[in-house]
Structure 1
Amino acid sequence: MNYTHLTQEERYQIYALLREGFSKRHIALRLECAPSTICREIKRNRNRNAYFAQHAHKLAKTRHNSNHKTVDPAVWKQVKSYLALQSSPEQIASHIAVSMHSIYRYIPQDKIKEGHLYQHLRFRSQRKRKYGHPETRGKLNNRRSIHERPQIIHQRSRFGDLEIDTIVGKNHQQSLVSIVDRKTGYLWLKKCSTRKSQDVREATVDLLHPIKEELQTITADNGKEFSLHKQIADELGIEFYFADPYSAWQRGTNENTNGLIRQYIRKGSNLNDYSDEYIAEITYRLNHHPRKRLGFKSPSQVLLQEHGVALQMLI
Structure 2
Amino acid sequence: MTNKEASRRVGVHDRTGREWRNGRIDPNRRRAPALMEQEPVPSSTRYLREDERIHIADRLREKASVRAIAAELGRSPSTISREIRRNGMPLCGDHSRWVYRPHAAQRRAGDRRPRPKPGKIGQNVELRDFTQAHLAMRWSPEQICHALRRRFPDRPETHVVHETIYQALYVQGRGELRRELARALRTGRTRRKPHRQAASRQPRFSHPMVMISERPTEADDRAIPGHWEGDLIIGKAGASTIGTLVERATRYVMLVHLPGGRGAEDVSTALQTTVQALPRHLTKSLTWDQGSEMAAHHAFTVATDIPVYFCDRPAPWQRGSNENTNGLLRQYFPKGTDLSTHGPEQLGAVAAELNSRPRKTLDWETPAERLHKLLTA
Q: TM-score, normalised by structure 1?
A: 0.54
1:103-125 Cα offsets, whole Å, 9 max, x none, are: xxxxxxxxxxxxxxxxxxxxxxx
Match of 2:87 in 1: none
Determine if the alignment matches structure 1 residue 217 to structure 2 residue 251. Answer: no
Determine if the alignment matches structure 1 residue 295 to structure 2 residue 363. Answer: yes
Give the whole-Å Cα distance in 2 for the aligned partners of 1:197 and 1:137.
18
Match of 2:339 in 1: 271
Deviation at 1:273, TM superposition (A): 2.2
1:206-251 Cα offsets, whole Å, 9 max, x none, are: 1101225121011000000000111111211121100001100000
Give the whole-Å Cα distance in 1 for the aligned partners of 2:255 and 2:195.
30
Residue identity over aligned pairs, in percent, reads: 30
Determine if the alignment matches structure 1 residue 169 to structure 2 residue 264. Answer: no
1:242-293 Cα offsets, whole Å, 9 max, x none, are: 0001100000010000111111101111112223222111101001111111
* Partner AA of 1:217 in structure 2: S
Give the whole-Å Cα distance in 1 for the aligned partners of 2:195 and 2:251.
33
Give the whole-Å Cα distance in 2 for the aligned partners of 1:176 and 1:130.
33
Match of 1:159 in 2: 225
Determine if the alignment matches structure 1 residue 255 to structure 2 residue 323. Answer: yes
| SS of residue paired to 2:290 | coil
* Partner AA of 2:338 in structure 1: N
Match of 2:246 in 1: 180
C-alpha contact 1:161 1:218 (8 A) present in aligned 2: yes
Match of 2:204 in 1: 139
C-alpha contact 1:212 1:237 (8 A) present in aligned 2: no
Deviation at 1:168, TM superposition (A): 1.0
Determine if the alignment matches structure 1 residue 200 to structure 2 residue 267. Answer: yes
**Given the superposition, is the C-alpha separation of residues 301 and 170 from structure 1 closer, same or farther in structure 2, using an over 3 Å criterion?**
same
Match of 1:308 in 2: 376
Q: Which has the higher contact order (CA 8 A, sep 6+)?
A: 1
* Mapping 1:57-76, distance limit 5 Å: none
**Given the superposition, is the C-alpha separation of residues 211 and 198 from structure 1 closer, same or farther in structure 2, using an over 3 Å criterion?**
same
Give the whole-Å Cα distance in 2 for the aligned partners of 1:271 and 1:172.
10
Deviation at 1:133, TM superposition (A): 8.1
Give the whole-Å Cα distance in 1 for the aligned partners of 2:331 and 2:250.
20
Q: Kindly report the root-mean-square deviation, in angstroms, between the aligned alpha carbons of the 2 structures.
A: 2.5
Q: Between Structure 1 and Structure 2, whose CA radius of gyration is higher?
A: 2
Q: Which runs of 5+ in 2 are unaligned?
A: 1-141, 143-186
**Given the superposition, is the C-alpha separation of residues 223 and 251 from structure 1 closer, same or farther in structure 2, using an over 3 Å criterion?**
same
Q: Which runs of 5+ in 1 are unaligned?
A: 1-24, 26-128, 310-315
* Partner AA of 1:260 in structure 2: L
| SS of residue paired to 1:166 | strand
Aligned pair count reads 182
Q: TM-score, normalised by structure 2?
A: 0.45
